[in-house]
Structure 1
Amino acid sequence: MLFLRATSLLSLFLSAIAPAYADTCSEVRDNTDIQVSSPLQLAYTAEQTEYWSASCIALKPSCIIFPRSAAEVAAVFRVLNTNNEKFAVKSGGHSPNNYYASVDGGPLISTQYLDHVLLDPTTGIIDVGPGNRLDGIAKKLQGTGWTFVGGRIGNTGVGGLILGGGLSYMSAQYGWSASSAISYEVVLANGTIVTTSATSHPDLFTALKGGGNNFGVVTNYKLQAHPQADVYGGNLVFLRTPSLDAALLRAVRDFTEHNTDNKAAIIVTAERTNVDLIDSWILFLFYDGPESAVPPGTFANFTSLKPLTNTLRTQTYADLMAGSNWVVLKGFQVQIGTETVPLPGAADAQDLLIDGIHAHWRNVSGTTLAVPGIVASIAYQPFPKRIAQAARERGADLIDVDADADRVIIELNYAFLLPIDYDKMEGKMRETYGGIRERVVAWQAEGKLPDVFLPVFMNYGFYRQDYWGRLKQASRELAREVAERVDPAGLFRDRTGGWKP
């Protein structure tokens, strides 16, 4: 009798733990040739450290799966359809939002081996895998005379960049990074592989340009590259003074409205830390051509302010991308947020941009300076009408910005050392972007700013921001319809992170 009871208890115990052995990691490891790495294995440890935020590194997937083809990605998803595990798919791991490309306790699908870059040197069409980072693509294309419309930091993963839209130094010429997409190879939630373009599954094609990770895993991006030789670019660094604040922000305003050379681009960033109370401005200047091709005066409003450091030089695009990676702070908790604001008129720039938005950022960031390791920054990125025009010329996307006004995309960053400060700094991030949004809405109501469409730019969005609510209704409806059609069971909706339509 005791033996029967013990046997029954053992049977119950084994049945209870059996699902743990029928998980995705075990199924893929035991029944396919796909590489699966477990905790404590070198490949797992190395890949898990490749995030921009230490908060994502702290999340521990049950295993990391390394597919090498669309067919292998499809095989993984057929297994995922047999269970209810949380999962994540990772390109570069640059999103600091927890669970967007990271997971705790479920499988992580790393695309690092999908790192092909195949160029047709005659047409400039390239096939790019999501395992590439931007500096890697630039290096592979160096010397070909072609380049891609990538982002500004070399360590950025191509997958997250393009699916979020992608703002580039070359956006005034060619639109979003996603605007250069010709087609996508996509593994859908049920393991089906499809190719989508403007003529094949066109709604899915549009949804993948600004729709994030809601529709499938893109295993190949076919992109139109563009001719390029050497470029001119680098950084200007200044120590902050109140008068410099005003001069630089007026220069941002004037550049956004009056620059007519689509080859020129800028990012103007204020940064402060509690290390020796460093308070500085760091500018990124870019011209799509050598220094000799830059029209006189293009950057004069910035260079004339006598920076402490000036690294501007003619260089290859690959060198520029590789030289930008110093901005990635390894070992820090990172939070990123954003707002899009209409460009104030010249007469209003002092009150709205300088005494309004920038003063608000300084007030909030000033309350964080006792946080260990804090690095607080705000980046002003011109979003002139021309970017919207260039994007529209190249086809539909979910962002769907009208070319009716000049705007500025603001990027907000808080980096800090200790996980214990995460919730506190989340509050500060929400206070920062929320205060900017409140001011803009009030100024629009007062007629001080034009009442124009102001989306949240996905690539810089904080997870608390209402990405979908800030898009146009037609974009939201298209995304929902496509998601329901290609993922009716809601695998991407319910089991991985990201903004959900």
Structure 2
Amino acid sequence: MRKSLVLLLLYTAISRADTCSTIASQTNIDVAYPLELDYIHEQEKYWSTSCISLKPSCILFPTSAAEVSTILQAINEGDESFAVKSGGHNPNNYFSSVASGPLISTARLNEAILNSNTGVLRMGPGNRLDDIAKKLQGSGWTFVGGRIGNTGTGGLMLGGGLSYMSAQYGWAASSALEYEVVLANGTIVTASDTENADLARALRGGGNNFGIVTTYTLQTYRQGNIWGGNVIFKHDDKVASNLLRAVRDFTEYNIDDRAAVIVTAERSTGLVIPELIDIELLDTWILFLFYDGPTPPGNLFRNFTEAGVPIANFAKQRTYSEYISGSNWVVVKGSVVQIGTETIPLPSSQDSDVVMEGIHEHWRSVSSKTLLELGGIASIAYQPFPKAITRQAKARAPDLIDADDGADRLILELNYSFIPQIDYEKMGDVLEETYTGVRQRVLGWQEEGILSDVYCPIFMNYGFYRQNYWERLRPESRAFAQQVAAKYDPNNFFRNRTGGWKP
């Protein structure tokens, strides 16, 4: 009798700790286990194979906020770690991936309902950016999303979201009017500027610390055909100097907020670029040009397109949907992906060469260590962060990034991809050396008076797990996030049970 009671108690404890079996036996929520097709298919959708290799105990597929609430209540009964996955773009292990715990996939929270009169869109986090662009195609409305179509909307919005249209409308999160959120205890609430406004602000740049967003209500904007595409140059010192000068000057002097650029340098022992450009030994510059209209003014991008003799120029008029879905070639399949970032003050025109070429020389020196890595690809993207973005963001909604509009900046995205998963930490050291070297140079130039001493938060959507996102925000923003987390998650459920940067 006593043995039976012990076994019963043991079975009960195991059952309480096993969210997968609880959800499978007591609800109609779809649960996929290892070796099942839904599990395999969903697990393959991460950008990095390091995340794919982390095997959750099951994958849960809720279709509503109520079902997410049920799942969180079940997880609360045990002590498992868990993760929430939108598009799987974030390559940091355990941020949207988990080993031996339940994974909540938002794939079936994929509604996209547009009010064609007002442009207000109700969007689920299960959509990717190209999904939304396709669903809005032909409506005359567009959304402020990211630049790579395969990116999930959930993580993008919670990190802020940098868009080709940010100089017009601010961060992607700046256009969020309302959030439907499931809190740690399963309570479903609305967050907006008039209801739970502190939570709404915290969700704009606060990551996954406050709840699971099941619906975003967004303002979209009028748009017809756009112009854009990639322009590719083979690297040489003159092209590099011209492009680094061009992106610096564009950030300060461009007055047409419909225009955007990303200037990317790529190095690899081999990579196939779409549209039949095959380069065995890659050392190139790949530009992403964008204009929110059918044709840009004639000289707008001349400093970029005439930086040298391009290998190829694919810029043309097209729909936004075609453009953003056509960017998915940048997703490197079958590789470990690591992304880091830095934000730097824009150097003056006088000091442009010292700063821009100094940073680029540092990147080339460090990235050379990766070129013999199996499948190694190194890239650096120079992305304008002009005053116009912060002006538009502040005009629309408060956020935790809280950048001032008194200075222009550049956001650097640093990417390394490679095949051997065993080299995850070794390559992480190289990435850390890259962004740390940039930071040290910036601080040195500030001491010398070459760069202005301005607030430079790092951008969550590009952050490496070793970087401290919260320490780079204003102290007031971090304190506010801590207050909001304590209010809406007093038991530290999200802090203790899932990954990500914690305030």
TM category, shorter: over 0.9
- Which secondary structure state, in structure 2, belongs to the residue aligned with residue 459 of structure 1? helix
- Tell me by how many angstroms 1:11 deviates: 6.5
Partner residue of 2:277? none
Q: Is the 8 A contact 1:117 1:128 kept in 2?
A: yes
- 4+ residue runs of structure 1 moved beyond 2 angstroms? 10-22
Question: CA offsets, 1:350-393, max 9 Å, x none?
Answer: 11111x10000000001111111000000000001111111011
Note the residue ranges of structure 1 that are not aligned, 5 or more in a row: none
Deviation at 1:21, TM superposition (A): 3.2
Letter in 2 for 1:350: D
Of 296-305 and 129-138, deviating more is 296-305
Q: Which residue of 2 aligns with 1:391?
A: 393
AA aligned opposite 1:235: N
TM-score normalised by structure 2 residue count: 0.96
Secondary structure at 2:109's aligned position in 1? coil
In structure 2, the partner of 1:480 is: 482
Question: 1:404 aligned to 2:406?
Answer: yes
**Is 2:128 the partner of 1:133?**
yes
Read off the aligned partner of 1:86 and give its amino acid letter: S
Q: String of CA shifts for 1:109-131, please: whole Å, max 9, x gaps.
A: 00000100000000000000000
Q: In structure 1, what is the equivalent of residue 275 of structure 2?
A: none
Q: Distance in 2 between matches of 1:420 and 1:78?
A: 36
How far off is 1:19 after superposition? 3.2
Contact in 2 for aligned 1:238/1:307 (Cα 8 Å): yes
The equivalent position to 1:194 in structure 2, one of 189, 194, 202, is 189
Out of 413, 416, 424, the position equivalent to 1:414 is: 416
Does residue 446 of structure 1 match 2:448? yes
What percent of counterpart residues are identical?
59
Aligned twin of 1:220: 215
Superposition pairs of residues 33-432 of structure 1, within 5 angstroms: 33-275=28-270, 276-291=280-295, 294-304=296-306, 305-354=308-357, 356-432=358-434
Q: CA deviation at 1:225?
A: 0.2
Deviates further, 165-174 or 238-247: 238-247
Q: What secondary structure, in the 3-state scheme, does the structure 2 residue paired with 1:488 have?
A: coil
Work out the CA distance in 2 between the residues paired with 1:182 and 1:466: 28
In structure 2, C-alpha distance between the alignment counterparts of 1:366 and 1:132, rounded to whole Å: 37
Contact in 2 for aligned 1:160/1:212 (Cα 8 Å): yes
Q: Secondary structure at the match of 2:104?
A: strand
Q: Identify the match of residue 14 of structure 2 among 7, 14, 20.
A: 20
Partner-residue secondary structure (3-state), 2:350: helix
Q: Secondary structure at the match of 1:346?
A: coil
**RMSD, aligned α-carbons:** 1.2
Give the C-alpha shift of residue 166 in structure 1: 0.2
1:420 positional shift: 1.2
CA distance in 1, matches of 2:260, 2:225: 15
Asked if the contact 1:271–1:281 (Cα under 8 Å) also holds between the matched residues in 2, the reply is: yes
Q: Secondary structure, in 3 states, of the residue corresponding to 1:347? A: coil
Judge conservation of contact 1:339–1:456 (CA < 8 Å) in 2: yes
Residue 349 of structure 1 aligns with an amino acid whose one-letter code is S
Counterpart Cα distance in 2 of 1:13 and 1:278: 62
The alignment's TM-score, normalised by the length of structure 1, stands at 0.97
The letter for the 1-side match of 2:352 is A
**C-alpha contact 2:370 2:377 (8 A) present in aligned 1:** no
For 1:467, give the aligned amino acid.
Answer: Y
Cα deviation per residue 1:266-298 (whole Å; 9 max; x = unaligned)? 00000000224311110000000102xx11210
Shift of 1:154: 0.2
Deviation (angstroms), 1:20: 3.2
Letter in 2 for 1:380: Y
Q: Which runs of 5+ in 2 are unaligned?
A: 271-279
1:258 Cα deviation after fit: 0.6
